[in-house]
Amino acid sequence: MNKRNAFKFFVFLFLCQLFLFKGIIFAENFNIEHPIKNPQKYTDKEKCDNCGMDRNKWARTRHEFQTSKGRSYTCSIHCVAVMSMKLKEEPKNVKVAEYLHPEKMLDADKTFYVIGSSAPGTMTQKSKIAFFSKEEAEKFAAKYGGAVSSFEGALSEAKKEIQGHKHMDRTGNMHDHGSSGHH
């Protein structure tokens, strides 16, 4: 084998190993589409009542709940927390989309949230995503990180994050203290 053919052979082996290694790494990475680029219609209430984002694109983390002002529809638990803080009341009859099956809306009080996984957050850098069962949440957390919590724990965490980045004036308006994450 001459030098040129030997060089080509080693480059070929190197590329084969690189693609094999890349495939192994990417198989372990997070690969669930969020936001959903071309979503089906999961809800007729398309705009988040807090931030205006498309709830069909952010279907995996959407919530709906009751307050003294009526039924509200949000893209995330972050927006539930903001609205709760603005209204100075806790949300009631909260429903949340099941993260892996966004067509399903669940009673938030009966769900298990994974907080802080490698899943992208909605309106926050620290994701808070809901699962139907504790086993499903634990399995997800074992693979993608994060801690399993209740709806109350996830809502409390969202409020702490907001308080760390914003303050509310006496009229209930929120003011930034810096970036609180991304959409």
Give per-residue pLDDT as tens, 82-130. 999 999 999 999 999 999 999 999 999 999 999 999 999 999 999 999 9
Is residue 1 helix, strand or coil?
A: coil
What's the pTM?
0.76
Is residue 149 helix, strand or coil?
A: strand
Contact between residue 151 and residue 109 where contact means Cβ atoms under 8 Å apart: yes
Bond into 120 cis (ω within 30): no
The single-letter code of the amino acid at 75 is C
Is residue 68 helix, strand or coil?
A: coil
Whole-number Cα distances in Å, 162 to 12, 47, 53: 52, 21, 18
Rounded to an integer, the average pLDDT of 20-39 is 64
Contact between residue 76 and residue 124 where contact means Cβ atoms under 8 Å apart: yes
Whole-number Cα distances in Å, 68 to 65, 71, 76: 10, 8, 20
61 CB burial (10 A radius; 0-12, 13-18, 19+): buried
How many other C-beta atoms can be found within 10 angstroms of the C-beta atom of residue 78? 29
Chain centroid offset of residue 80 CA = 13
- Tens of pLDDT along 53-91? 999 999 999 999 999 999 999 999 999 999 999 999 999
Contact between residue 155 and residue 111 where contact means Cβ atoms under 8 Å apart: no
Backbone angles phi, psi at 161, to 5 degrees: -60, -45
